[in-house]
Amino acid sequence: MRRFGPLNLTALALGLAFLYLPIAVLVVNSFNDSRLVTLWGGASLRWYRALAEDAAMLEAASVSLRVAFLSASAATVLGTLAALALTRGGRFRGRLLFSGMIYAPLVMPEVITGLSLLLLFVAFEIDRGFWTVTIAHTTLTLCFVTVVVQSRLVTFDRSLEEAAMDLGCPPLRTFFSVTLPLIWPAVASGWMLAFALSLDDLVIASFVTGPGATTLPIRIYSEVRLGVKPEINAICTIMIALVAVGLIAASLLTKRKGAQASLGVRL
């Protein structure tokens, strides 16, 4: 019989408080009318209004969202293909290098990934900007998509595909009408994960960005270095709210299974 004593309860409560307290402080402060954190000047949307007038911040948010959408979509296609190759490709030439390249970016320090991609773009004289950030994020996130989709494919029942093929369904059609619908939740949560990671990334984007392609994290970072600002509290609260809504929607959509798999993989 498992026992769940007061000691365990305390550990859990303290652990969760540690996780949520800073976020709660941030959210509450974003509604503080006073510029000083020390004073509660009453609840207000003042900093949200200031945010709506901050053109540079809005532009950065739009860049970030576009980069995240494009790179997540590209990474989902490539990552799903890579997962298929790893689980079903059998032994092909260069498999070891392939799986090495899939797993290495998961643990590689971001400064190294960023530096090496920048040096590539410089070596081939590619102008840095929106597309270089998108390429960099695709490279980073496709590995995460692969791991999520792979975890689904490992438990996949191949006999369904075989049945379709036996009945004369061509391979491509089998893939789109049998395989893809079955692994769909994993593919969707892989896309979400890639989207979130791309929105999150500061270090790699800082290396490979160029004029006119300031992403939201780069923008926030340049403000935050100078200290705490109420406007930043507001934009962080909006991002937290978006993430929360996205996660709830996703867990309803995929009936939790896929979303939980990807939550686990992100860590």
What is residue 178's DSSP assignment?
I
Binder among 50, 65, 85, 126 for other proteins (CB under 8 A): 85
Given the complex with other proteins, which of 72 and 196 has the nearer CB atom?
196
Least Å from the CB of residue 87 to other proteins: 9
**Interface mask toward other proteins for 111-140; x: CB under 8 A:** xx--xxx-xx-xx-----------xx-xx-
92 binds other proteins (CB under 8 A): yes
Distance of CA 251 to the CA centre of its chain: 16
| Cβ–Cβ under 8 Å, residues 250 and 259 | yes
What is residue 80's DSSP assignment?
H
Touching other proteins, residues 45-84 (CB under 8 A): 77-79, 81-82, 84
Closest to 66 measured CA to CA, from 127, 121, 134: 134
Backbone CA torsion sign across 219, 189, 267, 25: positive
253 binds other proteins (CB under 8 A): no
Touching other proteins, residues 5-44 (CB under 8 A): 7-9, 11-12, 14-16, 18-23, 25-26, 29, 36-38
Least Å from the CB of residue 158 to other proteins: 8
91 binds other proteins (CB under 8 A): no
Place of tokens 């619908």: 181
98 binds other proteins (CB under 8 A): yes
Counting residues that bind other proteins (by CB under 8 A) gives 97
Beta bridge partner(s), residue 32: 43
| Cβ–Cβ under 8 Å, residues 235 and 59 | no
**Interface mask toward other proteins for 204-243; x: CB under 8 A:** ---x---------x--xx--xx-xx---xx--x--xx--x
Contacts of 43 (CB under 8 A, 6+ apart): 31, 32, 33
